[in-house]
Amino acid sequence: MAEKTYLQAISDGLRQEMQRDKRVFVIGEDVGVYGGAFKVTLGFQEEFGPWRVIDAPLSETAIVGGCTGAAIMGMRPVAEMQFADFISCAWDHLVTVAAKQRYRAGTPVPIVVRLPSGGGFSGGPFHSQNPESSFAHIPGLKVVCPATPEDAKGLLVSAIEDPNPVLYFEHKHLYRRIKAEVPDERYLTPFGKARVHREGDDITVVTWGAMVYTADEAAKQLEEEDLSIEILDLRTLIPWDRKAVLESAKKTSKVLVLHEDTRTGGFGAEIAATIAEEAFEHLDGPIKRVTAPDSPVPFSPPLEKAYIPQIEDVAAGLRELAEY
């Protein structure tokens, strides 16, 4: 057990899987000699060689297409997109081929696509998106969004072991900002099992990724107002822990869904609809969403701050629910 950053936990999990299983290899732009855009694979090519840490051309289509073929042949590829935004270039290979191959032919396609996502650093509209809901809609894909260093490692190991394509969203703003104790040994964090980040009695916040910490800061503020906020970290969106969400909704009777993705069609809408269908009689107020607006991510720092849900936005939403 040692204190590690979110980034170190991802790197350690990946390294351990490559040491354990020679079928695991890494491919992406600048993952080898340069060590990755964010240095997750720093030193990997020296340790494992250029055939297992492959510097790919600037073609996300080629990367994901190559991974699909390698996975069908028994390998376990881990692809890195330099930014989650760039996965759109590989939409056809991922959604039309990889996601449907097991359904069509029974062939496992154990691909992991690592997706550095999220804003908070003035990356602009092409380097700051959270497109998880786009892929949560596609049967055959799994969607993972770790918030803690411990989960970042455990969920990555589970993703590499999974026989299906897994999109692993790692929030860039957490890379070096979050530290926590992480076990040195290999372990798996199960998919579809939410984590209670904070226990409370008055209102439930359902969230994932970096927004877990935004919710936590808002909850701390509202403690001074005698409001007890429960925070559920979903950890994975596909599959997602319906049971935990419904139990918490029934416990507190009020729910706020928080995500950094845009509002319309965001995964929060699916959560809200499920609560409305299955726990309506337990609610004492409307299900509220706090999200980014339906807009590209602004480059300007003040505009980006207005775009990404802030602590005060969450606190305001919780106060509205408390007063309802």
CA distances from 273 to 44, 255, 268 (A): 44, 12, 9
* 186 close to 16: Cβ distance less than 8 angstroms: yes
In the structure encoding, which two tokens stand for residue 198, read together? 């904070």
Catalytic one of 127, 171, 173, 259: 127
Backbone angles phi, psi at 113, to 5 degrees: -110, 110
Of 127, 319, 305, the closest CA to residue 223 belongs to: 319
Which residue matches tokens 């600037």?
58
* CB distance 263 to 293 below 8 Å: yes
Active site residue 127: yes
- Rounded to 5°, the CA angle 136-63-127 comes to 60
Please, which residues have CB within 8 angstroms of residue 194's CB and are 6 or more apart in sequence? 232, 233, 234, 235, 240, 241, 244, 245
Taking each helix axis from N to C terminus, what angle separates 149-161 and 6-20, rounded to the nearest 10 degrees? 30
Contact between 166 and 112 under an 8 Å Cβ cutoff? The reply is yes
Question: Is the dihedral angle over the CA atoms 185, 191, 192, 198 positive or is it negative?
Answer: positive
Residues identified as active-site: 127
